Every structure is written in structure tokens, then in C-alpha cells.
């Protein structure tokens, strides 16, 4: 359900700098696919009446309007519940449904990334906080809302009654950063910011291969990983070196060890290290560029990308949703709609005659 003419503001995200430049409206292609669009002016009584008819036939109603807007439009859960006792009403907010900031506009960059402490937590002592990337908080938050909706639908199967589900970007940010927040709740001493050259654990650090490929190691079983890393990198003599023989010693002499590993790991290309790390069962990952992710064979093998036919751009790949169910085929992706593309179709399904549809369009109650 979109506003006439302009539609959902998300339609324009692809064109906001510094987003990658493309003739394809890729953000809307991704998140608008498989949806139908009806354009309604909810400030008009006749437009609102159409929405209420839709709510009366729906299993789920999702809104991210602020409380004052819902009050003005009379679209709170209490307002619409009498229309459909089996309705699952889902409310997504920036900062929750209580407190002084319930009216505050929220984006994932502000309400999730910055407010949760994540933005402050992920840069080192020599760096600056980074902006979140588009959808980084919106998409996980949507999956959380989806899980709440599914729980409510399951409850409805048992009770026959609908329910209200709520979720906020701030809450999802707190959950994503919950380990560090829990530490603060337990009055833990804040950790000192490190740097790559003085990492607290040189085996949990990123390095660069001879061909300039960056990769990250996550070797957290020191009894197994330390000798394996030494052998893999041709540094077997370090296993018994007193400077690095224990975890405490490696922390104390981290700068020296990282310098040694930097030189050793710069002697081979990434493809060579990939085979060697596999042989020694070491945990690592390439630090992939976005372009490399789009060509990643492991992503392809696990159906992370799916093809769709686009009326303007032909056959095109899109990112698949992350949930798979056995013996169930997902619906094939269909192009994202234009604003109000399905207005007439949906109005007919609701029982509106052509004359009534034309009157709604002429009065700008629908678009």
C-alpha cells in the first residue's frame, strides 16, 4: 500500500550517493519483488475505506507508521481489530512503542547501527566509525519481525485469535550487540581498543597475501591452531619459541608475532594459502569485495542468487531470501511493481465496480 504518485521512499534508495551507480533500480528490484502495489491516499475517507476492506480480508497487516500517524489515520491495532479478529497486526518502529522517543524517525543507520553501540564497537584505536551499508539493519530486522508474525500465526492456529506483534530497529541492534551490552550490564571493565598491528590475539586478525588479497583468521583453539599455523606458514621454529609458546606470551608479544606472520603470509598468493589452510584445518575467510561476493561459487552452490525475468533489463540475478524448507519450492521472483500498478486489480478483487474504481481514481483517493 503506497502513497499515490511518489510511492514508497525506498524506491529511490538506489539513487542516493554513495550507492553504486546503475541504470537498474536494484534496491527496489530486490525488496519490491513478488509484491503488488495499490496506491491509496489514506488521508481521504474513501482511500482509508479501501484499506479497511483489505484489512478485513488479510491474514497479516504490517505498518511502520509512527504512533501519531496511526492515531490520525485511526489505524491502531485497537482500531482495526474489530474488523478481523484473526488478524496478525505487526508494527515495526525505530525506537519502540514506549518512552519519550516513540515519535522519533528511525533508520537502521541511526536506530540500529549507532544507537546500539555497534558503530562504536567495530573500529580500532587508529580508525574512525564507519557508516552502515544499505539494508544492513533493515533486512535482519525484517526477518525478526517475520519470525514474530509466524509465531503469532501459529498461536492463531491454536486459539483462532489474532494478535499484535511489534519490533524495533533499536531492539534488533541491541540483540546484535547483546554480548557487549550484557558485559556492560554486568559492570565488566571495557576492553581497550586494539589495532591490527597490536591485535590481542594474532591468530584472530586479518592479513594480506602476495597478490594483495586480504583474509581474516579466526583460530580460537590455541592448542590445535598454534602449531598448525606455524607449520602451515613454514614457521615451525616458533612453536617452542618462548616469546610465543603460550597464549599469554603471544598477547604480550603480539606486535612481533604479527610482523613475522605479515612477512610469511605475503610470500604466497591467496589461492595457495587456501589450499594450505585447508590441509591444516585452519579457520579463515577471504575478506571479499562486493564484486567478489556476486561471483562467489559457494554462494551460487547454496542458491544465494536466483534468476528472474525483468521487463526492462532481461534475465537478471537477485539475492535469494535466506530461509529454505525441505520439499518446498520458493515462488519464483517476479519484478517489483510500479506505483499503483495493481490498484485496479485489487479494487476489483474487493468487489468495487468499474464506475466506483474510476471515481476513486478521479478523486485522487487511489492512484
Asked whether the beta carbons of 163 and 152 are under 8 A apart, the reply is yes
In sequence order, what DSSP letters do the residues of 146-197 get, joined into one string? HHHHHHHHHHHHHHS--EEEEEEHHHHHHHHTHHHHHHHHTTPPPPPP--GG
Residue pLDDT tens, the chain, 367 long: 999 999 999 999 999 989 999 999 999 999 999 999 999 999 999 999 999 999 999 999 999 999 999 999 999 999 999 999 999 999 999 999 999 999 999 999 999 999 999 999 999 988 999 999 999 999 999 999 999 999 999 999 999 999 999 999 999 999 999 999 999 999 999 888 888 998 889 999 999 999 999 999 999 999 999 999 999 999 999 999 999 999 999 999 999 999 999 999 999 999 999 999 999 999 999 999 999 999 999 999 999 999 999 999 999 999 999 999 999 999 999 999 999 999 999 999 999 999 999 999 999 999 9
C-alpha span between 296 and 129 (Å, rounded): 28
pTM: 0.92
H or E segment at 226? helix 222-232
Asked whether the beta carbons of 248 and 305 are under 8 A apart, the reply is no
CA 60 to mean position of chain CA atoms: 21
Amino acid at each position: 500500500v503506497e502513497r499515490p504518485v511518489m510511492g514508497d521512499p525506498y524506491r529511490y534508495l538506489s539513487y542516493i550517493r554513495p550507492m553504486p551507480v546503475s541504470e537498474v533500480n536494484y534496491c527496489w528490484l530486490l525488496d519490491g519483488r513478488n509484491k503488488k502495489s495499490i496506491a491509496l491516499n489514506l488521508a481521504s475517507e474513501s482511500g482509508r475505506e479501501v484499506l479497511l476492506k483489505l484489512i478485513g480480508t488479510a491474514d497479516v497487516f504490517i505498518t511502520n507508521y509512527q504512533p501519531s500517524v496511526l492515531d490520525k489515520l485511526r489505524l491502531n491495532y485497537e482500531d482495526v481489530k474489530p474488523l478481523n479478529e484473526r488478524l496478525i497486526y505487526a508494527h515495526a518502529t525505530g525506537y519502540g512503542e514506549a518512552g519519550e522517543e516513540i515519535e522519533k524517525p528511525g533508520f537502521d543507520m541511526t536506530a540500529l547501527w549507532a544507537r546500539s553501540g555497534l558503530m562504536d564497537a567495530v573500529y580500532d584505536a587508529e580508525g574512525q566509525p564507519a557508516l552502515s551499508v544499505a539494508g544492513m539493519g533493515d533486512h535482519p530486522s525484517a526477518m525478526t519481525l517475520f519470525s514474530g508474525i509466524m509465531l503469532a500465526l501459529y498461536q492463531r492456529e491454536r486459539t483462532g485469535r489474532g494478535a499484535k506483534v511489534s519490533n524495533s530497529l533499536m531492539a534488533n541492534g541491541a540483540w546484535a550487540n547483546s554480548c557487549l551490552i550484557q558485559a556492560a550490564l554486568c559492570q565488566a571493565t571495557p576492553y581497550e581498543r586494539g589495532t591490527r598491528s597490536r591485535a590481542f590475539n594474532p591468530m584472530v586478525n586479518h592479513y594480506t597475501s602476495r597478490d594483495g588479497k586480504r583474509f581474516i583468521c579466526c583460530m580460537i583453539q590455541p592448542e590445535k591452531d598454534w602449531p598448525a599455523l606455524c607449520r602451515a606458514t613454514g614457521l615451525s621454529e616458533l612453536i617452542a619459541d618462548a616469546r610465543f609458546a603460550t597464549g599469554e606470551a603471544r598477547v604480550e608479544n603480539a606486535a612481533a608475532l604479527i610482523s613475522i606472520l605479515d612477512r610469511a603470509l605475503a610470500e604466497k598468493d591467496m589461492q595457495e594459502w587456501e589450499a594450505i589452510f585447508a590441509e591444516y584445518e585452519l579457520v579463515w575467510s577471504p575478506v571479499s569485495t562486493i564484486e567478489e561476493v556476486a561471483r562467489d561459487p559457494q554462494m551460487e552452490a547454496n542458491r544465494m542468487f536466483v534468476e528472474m525475468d525483468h521487463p526492462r533489463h532481461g534475465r537478471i540475478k537477485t539475492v535469494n531470501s535466506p530461509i529454505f524448507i525441505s520439499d518446498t519450492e520458493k515462488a519464483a521472483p517476479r519484478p517489483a511493481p510500479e506505483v499503483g500498478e495493481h490498484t485496479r486489480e485489487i479494487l476489483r478483487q474487493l468487489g468495487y465496480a468499474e464506475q466506483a474504481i474510476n471515481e476513486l481514481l478521479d478523486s485522487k483517493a487511489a492512484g
